[in-house]
Amino acid sequence: MSQRAFTLTLFLCLLQMQVCLAQERKKAVKKESYKSLQSRSSVNQATQLLKEADNLKVNDPSSALDKVQEALAMSIAQKDAFSEGKSYVLLGEINEGIQEWKLALENYTRAHEKLGEENADSEQYKKALEGLGAMNLKLGIYNEALKYFQESLSLDLSRSERLDRQLDISETYYQMGNYDQALKVLNESPRSKVVDQSYDTRVENQKAKIYARQNNLNLTRQAYQNSLNSAAGQKLEPKAVQSLQDTKEDIASVLNEEKKYDDEINVRQQAIKFNLENKNAVEVTKDKVAIGQTLEKKGESEAALKETEEAVTIADTISNAKEQAKAYLALADLYQKNGRTQNALATYRKYAAAVNRSEKQNEIRLTEKSELIKKQKDIEELTSSVSIGQRDYALEQQTVSRQRLIIYGLLGIIAIIGVTSFFIYKNAMASKRANQLLALKSLRSQMNPHFIFNALNSVNHFIATQDERAANQFLSEFSQLMRLVLENSQQDFISLQKEQEILSLYLKLEHYRFRDKFDYEINLDPSLNAESIEVPPMLIQPYLENAVWHGLRYKETKGKLSLRISKQDHNLVAEVCDDGIGRKRSAELKTENQKKHFSMGLKNIGERLVIINKMYKANYHVSVEDPKVGTGTEVKIYMPLRNHLN
């Protein structure tokens, strides 16, 4: 053997030894960590931690998760299956509180498995079954929901618990569309001489919903009135109050669909009276907005305007920016329809500000939710680590005579590590995708306030030039465009037909203001199926806006803007061409603030494209060129063909 070969072999052996030693050190750390945890923990400590977590789960879920994490590790170390199951019940309840139904279902499933039938009489086992039923119902897995609710009825339940499960079963059949069975379950529920106002209210609400779906208006009125009578002057449980609100919305929706507007208004007015007594201004606002919309459908514009103005007055007293925005938008639309341009403009500004506040509130909630999900991932990793340490410690106790079994045990541990790593990786990928979706939604949301304020500036221009007729016409078109933009910007992809509709309306509005600066044309390849092809919303519009605001409006003569959408190979290509002053001249004319605004807009688009390409493994890209002859700019947006039927 040559000296070089010997040296290489020796190096590889040393490297292998280092790897083995590192692995042994990691095992030793986990094993010692488990032994330390086992020696300093007790069942009583885990029980106390879980009690504290239960008190914190609603108002401080982050601190509750910290305590559950510690209690779960102790429970595993102490081989306390009951406390481990209780830990998973609490995790399920926390996930349910942040509306993470799938995570909640996973934790309730773990709790159900850990507690087992030997703990069937415990409150924790009942909670696990209730959670499994409720989460399957939320996810639309109705047969599984029925299975767990019915299994719960076989346990030793209190009267109120049994009545709750009967209501849950009725609600499951209701959501399945089996209204006869939903009603039958209610009628077969056991009655008692003990009066329970909250339960009676919920039963009458459930009946009212069912009768409404069966188109039995008389019984609907009777059941809903019984519910209100039962609730009057009573301090109801939160779920009974929520049941009243949900029932009202279900009934009103059915009546509106049937065009029974007077009956719908009557239902909402009854709800307003109840909610005023209970100081629920948010629900009063929602109902008054809905009444205004219904009155508008009836052609009673003055009455609709009065109700909506009252809704806005109440909305100004609440902190719910989302409901404020709905009220402002409804009032602005009515002002615009009634020719009250100045009032409409002022209210649209309020609406834009409320939308901005709502987006910020939502972003804060999403960030908090993301942090809680990350903490749960840490809990899963700790659980895995403690479990591995527990198994390593058990292996250490085996005698030399059982070395063969130890080898099998080690192989089992390796398999467990592999499976655990796979699930940890899978969860990490799911979290990464969720974060990408949040980032993409945030970037799309940033376009809306900017877009709305730009359009409102155009309205201001018409009013400033005493052109009220043009302002009214612009407002009408702008209202339609704003609805399209806000509806479609919530989607990751929309049809090419919808995108073309938005772009056409946008260019029409820009042409109102700059009609002496440019003409435009939109050409869509007739071979394209615009209804089935999907594109990201608001991706092309910023380039059209740049062409108008940074190229054509500075041109001394009338220019031309063209948008051509065609198919090239496997791509959909949107070409935005203008004969404006060009990028170089435009940059020379811009102020520092305009340059910052322009660069942030392009940065937003760039970040969206990066996220979309990562999420969908696609190749969306943009090229910007200056024409070889003359002035202007040519932008080509390449979008892989995406068909919603695929």
Facing residues of 577 across strands? 562, 634
**564 pLDDT exceeds 70?**
yes
* pLDDT for the residue 442: 47
Residue 598 in tokens: 């322009």
* pLDDT for the residue 438: 47
Alpha-carbon distance of 448 to 453, in angstroms, equals: 9
Single out the residue of 133, 186, 180 nearest to residue 155, CA to CA.
Answer: 133
* pLDDT for the residue 573: 95
Residues 6+ apart with CB under 8 A from 392: 27, 30, 31, 34, 413
pLDDT band at 148 (very low <50, low <70, confident <90, very high): very high
| H or E element at residue 634 | strand 633-640
Single out the residue of 467, 463, 477 nearest to residue 510, CA to CA.
Answer: 477
Alpha-carbon distance of 579 to 593, in angstroms, equals: 24
**631 pLDDT exceeds 70?**
yes
**172 pLDDT exceeds 80?**
yes
Three-class DSSP category at 581: coil
**296 pLDDT exceeds 50?**
yes
pTM for the whole structure: 0.53
Query: pLDDT tens, 580-616?
Result: 888 888 777 766 555 555 556 667 778 888 888 888 8
The per-residue pLDDT of the chain, averaged, comes to 80
**256 pLDDT exceeds 60?**
yes
Average pLDDT of span 433-455:
52
pLDDT band at 170 (very low <50, low <70, confident <90, very high): very high
* pLDDT for the residue 468: 74
**459 pLDDT exceeds 80?**
no
pLDDT band at 163 (very low <50, low <70, confident <90, very high): confident
Query: pLDDT tens, 298-345?
Result: 889 899 899 898 988 998 898 888 888 888 888 899 889 888 989 989
Of 191-195, 303-307, 341-345, 423-427, minimum mean pLDDT range: 191-195
**Residue with the larger pLDDT of the pair 163 and 637:** 637
* pLDDT for the residue 444: 45
Strand spans (E) along 389-439: none
> Helix H segments across 519-591?
541-547, 582-589
Residue 517 in tokens: 């600066």
Residue with tokens 């504290």: 52
Query: pLDDT tens, 94-126?
Result: 888 888 889 889 999 988 988 887 888 888 999
For the chain, the C-alpha Rg in angstroms (whole number) is: 32
Average pLDDT of span 470-499:
81
Average pLDDT of span 30-36:
50
**Annotated domain spans of the chain:** 7-31, 321-332+339-490, 506-640
Single out the residue of 472, 626, 588, 608 nearest to residue 537, CA to CA.
Answer: 608
**Percentage of residues in the chain with pLDDT exceeding 70?**
77
Alpha-carbon distance of 597 to 600, in angstroms, equals: 5
Of 105-119, 201-215, 382-396, 434-448, minimum mean pLDDT range: 434-448
CA dist 39 → 25, 36, 42, 83, 87 (Å): 21, 5, 8, 17, 20
* pLDDT for the residue 597: 53
* pLDDT for the residue 640: 92
Burial class (CB in 10 A: 0-12, 13-18, 19+), 223: buried
**1 pLDDT exceeds 70?**
no
**78 pLDDT exceeds 90?**
no
**536 pLDDT exceeds 70?**
yes
pLDDT band at 636 (very low <50, low <70, confident <90, very high): very high
Of 31-40, 91-100, 254-263, 626-635, minimum mean pLDDT range: 31-40
Pairing status of strand 559-568 against strand 518-524: parallel
pLDDT band at 385 (very low <50, low <70, confident <90, very high): low
Question: Which of 36-45, 53-62, 491-500 shows the highest mean pLDDT?
Answer: 491-500
Which class is 506-640 in CATH?
Answer: alpha beta
Single out the residue of 441, 434, 443, 444 nearest to residue 369, CA to CA.
Answer: 434
Alpha-carbon distance of 94 to 103, in angstroms, equals: 10
**Percentage of residues in the chain with pLDDT exceeding 90?**
16
Average pLDDT of span 379-399:
63
CA dist 152 → 113, 114, 134, 145, 161 (Å): 15, 17, 12, 11, 9
Residue 227 in tokens: 């519910």
Pairing status of strand 571-578 against strand 534-535: unpaired
pLDDT band at 565 (very low <50, low <70, confident <90, very high): very high
* pLDDT for the residue 41: 55
Of 5-9, 142-146, 177-181, 607-611, minimum mean pLDDT range: 5-9
